Amino acid sequence: MYPKLFESLEAGKTPTISRAVNGRATERNAFRRGDAVTFTLRVPRALGARAVVLRLAEDGKDPSDLPLDFSGFDRGQDLYTLTLDTAALVPPEGGLLRYEFLFLRGERTLFTNSTDNLHFTLSDRNANRFRMLVYRAGFRTPEWFRGGTMYHIFVDRFFRAKNCGKLHTGRLEADWEHGIPQFAEKPGDPLANDLFFGGNLGGITEKLDYLAGLGVTVLYLSPIFDSVSNHRYDTGDYEKVDALLGGDEAFAKLVAAAHARGMRVILDGVFNHTGDDSRYFNRRGTYPDVGAYQSQSSPYAGWFSFRSFPDDYESWWGIPILPRLNQQNPACRAYFTGKDGICARWIRAGADGWRLDVADELCDDFLNELRASVKKAGKSRATDPLILGEVWENAADKISYGALRPYLWGGQLDGVMNYPFRNAVLALLLHGDSAFFRSVLTELYVSYPPAVCDCLMNLLGTHDTARILTVLGDPSEGDGRSNAELSVLRLSPAARRKALRLLQIGALLQFTVYGVPSVYYGDEVGLEGYHDPFCRMPYPWKRPDRALRAFYQALGALRAARPALRGSFRFLDSPDASVCYERKKGADRLLVAANLGKKAVHFRIPPHYRNVLLSTGKAPTLSPSNLILPPKSAVVLG
């Protein structure tokens, strides 16, 4: 499944490595604190190495050199071993280690290098090191999330129930089917976002049967708290569900109806900043509270950072309508993460977890306390709430504001939004880059704790990206066009047909790799749209692509039926521009293959795969131990 860690520049002199944790072979580089990790190196005697040393260091600290023990000779190879007690390597809260191997040969030392195709380098410089993450001994993630299917709803654009709440600001767009979201003249220009389509929580409740038919088990809602904008990322009051959405009562009804169907509800936690029109900042005097903008004696004054009171203050990305919260302020932090804080309060009110907006801007103290309060609040409902973070890169060694972030050490997040997966899928679908797809998924799988791999939010699109169908049909994403042009631009019939074929392959991969697929509302019926705000078009209830929807329903049914999709993952050999992997749990096993090339490809597969469970494009040819897959197609075998 995994590439060799070492490839010698000298033929016949290639060392190989194997790892075991507590005596069982593993390919992972993420271990529970207290695990015993054994490295075994097989070093060809022709290499001329007289000793092997492991150079190991906590991230950012000075390294230690640990010699490996010579443990035997086998078929021209010297065997070296070393066992590490991870409890002795990092403190109880976990940590990140970097390591490399040094091969002593005469007067020269060969350093391993984790870049440059993992080749040896003959160098006396510091080589790039491999990563080893050690997480807390008691770290667990919610069982109920694993193997599920998530549905991401931008609430204002999903469905407007007749009992629509009262519009307290802005304008209401009457034409749901053909209305265009409000847009600025140029991308990045300020926008009021005060044009509402009126989607509400009652509308989601009305459509729960539809969502159940897709196999949805988790609803992830865009922000629902009081706000003056349609996206509600500029929160006005964290203690109230927006009246236009139906208020607290509508939330309670949605949660009860969802739970009755076995669905969970995840809320969007925007805790890095508020709106300037909020009870906490109150720049416009909308709220009765004395806000931080109004008086330096305000109880919220320390919640924000002013360079020059009142008009020069820190804000998110310099956007003045989004004043940034000062989480180092104890009162501010306690408001969100305390025993009776916002995060715990809404868990007790029925929410099943949080997706944390811009998690890399939330300080470690805030995240640590948030996890403790949310998990404790969950116990009052006999549930284990989920905590997902918005992190766009590999979260195992994410650097934010110059510091390594311990997101996955067991004291902060259960999982993250898997944007690297999206990047890998697009490279495969648009360019046939199967090597990049395998590399990205392998990198995440070996560097994240297993429980985190099960809880990754695997996405193809979100409210922050162009619609996946649009990207597949127009990879330029409308570059160079004005917002006015993009507001009405749609794919040509030919481009749309091509995009639909590719989307089916992408969705099949999304639903069958490790982690949890997240369907952005409307993707399952072919909704198009370029960058924000055009990726936030209303759901086309009267104009769905029924064939695509049926395919997503089949994917949801497959996830519900097959335990293998909650089990192990490994790549099998595959030709260029194609991928093949296997999922197994107990006696249940599945094989997934995709061919993005221009010609049919042949796969040698294990002989027990006899049935085509789901496929895209032209039908594959299946015989014992052999699979022939037509171009631009994918298949699931059982």
* Span 291-340, pLDDT tens digits: 999 999 999 999 999 999 999 999 999 999 999 999 999 999 999 999 99
503 with 461: CB under 8 angstroms? no
What is the model's pLDDT at position 403?
A: 93
Give dist(CA 270, CA 256) in Å, integer: 24
Q: Is 357 known to be catalytic?
A: yes
Q: What is the mean pLDDT of the chain?
A: 93
Exposed / middle / buried, residue 122 (Cβ in 10 Å: 0-12, 13-18, 19+): exposed
Q: Answer left, alpha or beta for residue 474, where phi above 0 means left and psi between -120 and 50 means alpha.
A: beta
**CATH number of the CATH domain containing 317:** 3.90.400
pTM for the model: 0.95
**CATH number of the CATH domain containing 56:** 2.60.40.10
Same domain, 345 and 296: no
Higher pLDDT, residue 124 or 349: 349
Give dist(CA 125, CA 553) in Å, integer: 54
Q: What is the mean pLDDT of residues 375-393?
A: 97
Which residue matches tokens 């335990």?
563
What is the model's pLDDT at position 161?
A: 95
| Structure token pair of residue 415 | 């999982």
Least confident of 179-188, 512-521, 542-551: 179-188
What is the model's pLDDT at position 288?
A: 95
Which residue matches tokens 């916002």?
342
Same domain, 588 and 467: no
Per residue in 272-293, pLDDT tens?
999 999 999 999 999 999 999 9
Q: For the chain, what percent of residues have pLDDT higher than 90?
A: 89
| Structure token pair of residue 322 | 């989004």
What is the model's pLDDT at position 8?
A: 45
Pick from 538, 561, 584: which residue ends a domain?
A: 561
Give dist(CA 32, CA 22) in Å, integer: 10
Within-domain flag for 11: no
Question: Residue 636 is inside which H or E element, if any?
Answer: strand 633-637
367 with 412: CB under 8 angstroms? yes
Same domain, 360 and 393: yes
Name residues whose C-beta falls within 8 Å of residue 193's C-beta, 6 or more positions apart in sequence. 182, 229, 230, 231, 533
Q: Strand ranges (DSSP E) for 202-359?
A: 218-221, 225-227, 235-241, 264-269, 306-308, 312-313, 353-356
Q: Which amino acid is at 323?
A: P
Within-domain flag for 4: no
Per residue in 210-264, pLDDT tens?
999 999 999 999 999 999 999 999 999 999 999 999 999 999 999 999 999 999 9
Within-domain flag for 3: no
* Angle in degrees, CA 47, 51, 53, rounded to 5: 115
Dihedral sign, CA of 176, 179, 180, 181?
negative
Q: How many residues are given for the chain?
A: 638
Per residue in 47-69, pLDDT tens?
889 999 999 999 888 999 999 99
What is the model's pLDDT at position 169?
A: 83
**CATH number of the CATH domain containing 612:** 2.60.40.1180
Confidence tier at 121 by pLDDT (50, 70, 90): very low
Give dist(CA 256, CA 604) in Å, integer: 49
Same domain, 278 and 405: no
Same domain, 409 and 310: no
Least confident of 117-131, 349-363, 514-528, 553-567: 117-131
Within-domain flag for 476: yes
Q: Which amino acid is at 2?
A: Y
Per residue in 130-160, pLDDT tens?
899 999 999 999 999 999 999 999 999 999 9
Q: How many domains does the chain have?
A: 4
522 with 199: CB under 8 angstroms? no
185 with 226: CB under 8 angstroms? no
Per residue in 447-490, pLDDT tens?
999 999 999 999 999 999 999 999 999 999 999 999 999 999 99
Give dist(CA 592, CA 587) in Å, integer: 17
Per residue in 203-213, pLDDT tens?
999 999 999 99
Same domain, 240 and 315: no
Question: Residue 445 is inside which H or E element, if any?
Answer: helix 434-447
Q: Describe the crossing of helices 434-447 and 419-431 by its angle, rounded to 10 degrees.
A: 160
Within-domain flag for 462: yes
Q: How far, in Å, are 296, 420, 469, 483, 499 from residue 473 at the CA level?
A: 53, 21, 6, 18, 5
Least confident of 181-190, 339-348, 611-620: 181-190
- pLDDT at 89 exceeding the cut of 90: yes
* Angle in degrees, CA 204, 207, 211, rounded to 5: 105
CA atoms within 13 A on the CB side of 208: 20
What is the model's pLDDT at position 113?
A: 56
Q: Are strands 353-356 and 386-389 parallel, antiparallel or unpaired?
A: parallel
Give dist(CA 170, CA 154) in Å, integer: 18
Within-domain flag for 606: yes
Q: Which of 489, 457, 518 minimizes the C-alpha distance to 152?
A: 518
Give dist(CA 386, CA 265) in Å, integer: 10
Exposed / middle / buried, residue 371 (Cβ in 10 Å: 0-12, 13-18, 19+): buried
What is the model's pLDDT at position 488?
A: 97
What is the model's pLDDT at position 567?
A: 97
Give dist(CA 2, CA 440) in Å, integer: 11
Same domain, 404 and 489: yes
Same domain, 267 and 287: no
Within-domain flag for 10: no
Number of other residues whose CB lies within 10 A of the CB of residue 268: 24
Q: Is 582 known to be catalytic?
A: no
Least confident of 181-195, 408-422, 577-591: 181-195
DSSP assignment of 43-104 equals: EEGGG--SEEEEEEEETTS--EEEEPEEEEEETTEEEEEEEEEGGGTS-TT-EEEEEEEEEE
Q: Which of 297, 247, 246, 306 minimizes the C-alpha distance to 276?
A: 306
Confidence tier at 11 by pLDDT (50, 70, 90): low
- pLDDT at 117 exceeding the cut of 70: no
Classify 453 as helix, strand or coil.
helix
DSSP assignment of 174-191 equals: S-TTT------SSTTS--
Buried b (16+ CB within 10 A) or exposed e, 284-302: eebbebbbbbbeeebebbe
Same domain, 390 and 258: yes
Least confident of 103-112, 364-373, 473-482, 605-614: 103-112
Confidence tier at 13 by pLDDT (50, 70, 90): confident
Classify 258 as helix, strand or coil.
helix
Q: Describe the crossing of helices 493-510 and 419-431 by its angle, rounded to 10 degrees.
A: 130
Confidence tier at 10 by pLDDT (50, 70, 90): low
Per residue in 394-425, pLDDT tens?
999 999 999 999 999 999 999 999 999 999 99
Same domain, 429 and 535: yes
Rg (CA), the chain: 26
Exposed / middle / buried, residue 62 (Cβ in 10 Å: 0-12, 13-18, 19+): exposed
Pick from 500, 529, 561: which residue ends a domain?
A: 561
What is the model's pLDDT at position 118?
A: 33
| Structure token pair of residue 197 | 């389509």
Within-domain flag for 338: yes
Give dist(CA 596, CA 619) in Å, integer: 15
99 with 54: CB under 8 angstroms? yes
| Structure token pair of residue 355 | 């997706």
Among residues 35, 268, 390, 474, which one is catalytic?
Answer: 390
Among residues 35, 276, 357, 523, which one is catalytic?
Answer: 357
Which residue matches tokens 């991928």?
579
Same domain, 464 and 546: yes
Higher pLDDT, residue 107 or 535: 535
Chain centroid, CA 136 distance in Å = 21
Same domain, 82 and 157: no
Q: For the chain, what percent of residues have pLDDT higher than 70?
A: 95
Give residue 295's domain range.
273-326
- pLDDT at 628 exceeding the cut of 70: yes
Pick from 521, 541, 561: which residue ends a domain?
A: 561
Name residues whose C-beta falls within 8 Å of residue 5's C-beta, 6 or more positions apart in sequence. 16, 17, 112, 118, 130
